[in-house]
Each structure stands twice: as structure tokens, then as C-alpha cells.
Amino acid sequence: MWLCSRCGLAQLAEDPTVPEEPRGAEPAALVDQAAEAVRRVGAAGLLREGGKVAEYGSPHGGSWLDLLAAAGLKQVADDEAADVIVDCFGMMHAADQFAALAQRASRIEPGGILLLQYHALGAIIRHGQWNALRHGHYAYYSATALRVMLAAAGLRPRTAWSFDLYGGTVLLAAQREADHPPAPDDVVAALLADDAAIGVRNQVVLAGLQRACEAKARGLREWLIAERSAGRSVVGYGAASRAVALLRRAEVDSSLLPAVADASPAKQGLRMPGTDIPVVSPAELAARTPGAVLLFVADLRAEVSAAYPEVEAAGGRWVDADALSS
């Protein structure tokens, strides 16, 4: 990871991969958060009925367009200007961050807004989420970095909303400086103060992610070995990109984790990159009757435990992979 000493943006040092990846199934937690986000933005008076909206999507799935249509907005073509530009975890996949933000800014109608949702760097640091850093994700944002980036694109943050998704997600609303938007409100000021308290621009603080990486990888491997030694079977759930780094770092193969189930048909029949672990349908959870299901995305816990009650009915348990530290 690189940390820009000027703007505070954390970035991938290099990425030889292509940004396309199999499209994931949208988790219920993400659906619920999107609905709540649109509700909050509407309650703030930032969604004008009859206004135009454009969306920059994410390869991880999900769209806000139906929700915004229900709020009275109309979708425009990919090259048209709009009153509301929505980017939900999309811009982080752009190799050229300056060009990506400039493109979004250029499409905002006078008086319009950019809604940019991101997994906060402060949350990544606070929870030791080292494997948020992964191929295809070029940038890791904080309100501190975005204030500088937005200014370079002629934009100013206006307000923001925080959510528990992924341990700490922020939806930031920005407007064009030329439209003379109000000064950033107390919510933005609080985010900036929290960034400073956490140390999002401190290289020593960010280096702590390396220690979290080593502890969590070691903890996962030791736990899987202990489960195998005790004769208990384990299956993974959630073939998320963050799981790839964890499995590789922990040197886990199919002898320790014979399969990872995922609801996305695009991922089934493939394998976890860099390993021999196959990705299977969730239907196999019942057939395998595992003693434990290793959950790689904690936000899925309520959804999958309700969808697959046979796991616990057979005496199995759900285990959060991120909680296994040594």
C-alpha cells in the first residue's frame, strides 16, 4: 500500500490484474443499507422529484437505480449529465483516480450532487481489515483524502452519512464549487476529526495492518488445523475477493478447507484464486453437514444463517473468519 503524503489517499502500489471479475450476488445487508441510504438522502432534501440520475456500478453487484426511481428520479444514458450521480463502491476500481473523479464531476448538472459511497479507511485501520487491500481495488478513501480530491475536481463535500456495513461505510454528498454549495456541515467535520484521531495519514498507523495480516492469517491456519485434528469438517462461505488474500496468506488448501460455497452462479464451478479450493453452490452445505461454516463476509451472518438453518440443525456452527487471530 502507498500513502500519498499530500492528499492522504491510500492506494495499491501496483496491480497487474484486469479490473473485471465475476459479478457477485448482492447480500441482503447491502440491499438494506442502500434503501436506508436513499431514505436518508431524500430526507435531507437532496433528491428532487423528476430529476435525472446516473449510476457508476461496482463489479460486486447491486444498484440504487430502482430505489431512486421510486423516489421520483429518472435514469439517463451513460454519457449524459444528471442531477444525481451515484457511485457505490465503484470509483475504487479505477486505476486513474483523478480521471475517474473528473469524469463524474463533469456530469453533474448545476445544483446537482455526487453521492460517493466508500468503505472508510478509518474502519479498515480500526478493525485490522488488512485484506480490504486487494487486486482491483485501487483506492482506500477517508474524508480527509476525499476533501482534497474533490477540491481538485471542483467539488466540495456538503454532508455525509455513516453505516455499519463492512465495519464502517460512509456515503458522502458533494456539490460543484461553482454552484456555491453550503460549507461542509458538522457531520463532515466529525468525520475529519475521527480521521485525525485514528491517524489515517500516519504511515506508522497504517503499518499496523501488516501486523493484523500476520495475526489473522496465523490464527486462521491454526484454527483449521485444530478442527481437522479434532475430526470436525469445515466448509467456507462467501467467495469474496477479500477471502483470497486471507487464504493465500494463511497457506490454506483443500486439505484444510475442501470447499467455499457462494450464492453467485458466476463463481460456482471456479476455484479460489491461488488455491485448489473449489467454489460450490450453497446447496452443498446441507449435503456436507459441516461441523463449522467459515464465514468470510461477516455482514452475511444473519442472512445465511436464516437461509440455511440445516447447518445449525445438524449441530454445525457459523464462524467469523475475521475473528480468528493468533
135's grid cell: 487486486
Which DSSP letter does residue 296 get? S
DSSP SS3 for 208: helix
Q: Above 90 in pLDDT, residue 21?
A: no
How many angstroms separate the CA atoms of 296 and 272, rounded? 12
How many angstroms separate the CA atoms of 207 and 191, rounded? 22
**Tell me, what's the pLDDT at 24?**
61
pLDDT one-digit tens code per residue, 148-159:
999 999 999 999
**Tell me, what's the pLDDT at 35?**
96
How many angstroms separate the CA atoms of 214 and 249, rounded? 8
**Tell me, what's the pLDDT at 34?**
95
Going along the chain from its start, the domains and CATH numbers come out as: 2-201 (3.40.50.150), 215-323 (3.40.50.720)
Cell 464502517, located at residue: 168
Q: Above 70 in pLDDT, residue 288?
A: yes
**Are the beta carbons of 293 and 311 closer than 8 angstroms?**
yes
pTM for the structure as a whole: 0.87
**Confidence class of residue 25 from pLDDT cuts 50, 70 and 90?**
low
Q: Give me the mean pLDDT over the 93-110 stretch.
A: 96
- 127 exposure class (CB count in 10 Å sphere: 0-12, 13-18, 19+): middle
**Tell me, what's the pLDDT at 120?**
98
Percent of the chain with pLDDT over 90: 80
**Are the beta carbons of 69 and 114 closer than 8 angstroms?**
no
Strands 108-119 and 139-140: unpaired
**Tell me, what's the pLDDT at 54?**
98
Q: Above 90 in pLDDT, residue 317?
A: yes
Across the chain, mean pLDDT equals 93
**Are the beta carbons of 14 and 20 closer than 8 angstroms?**
no
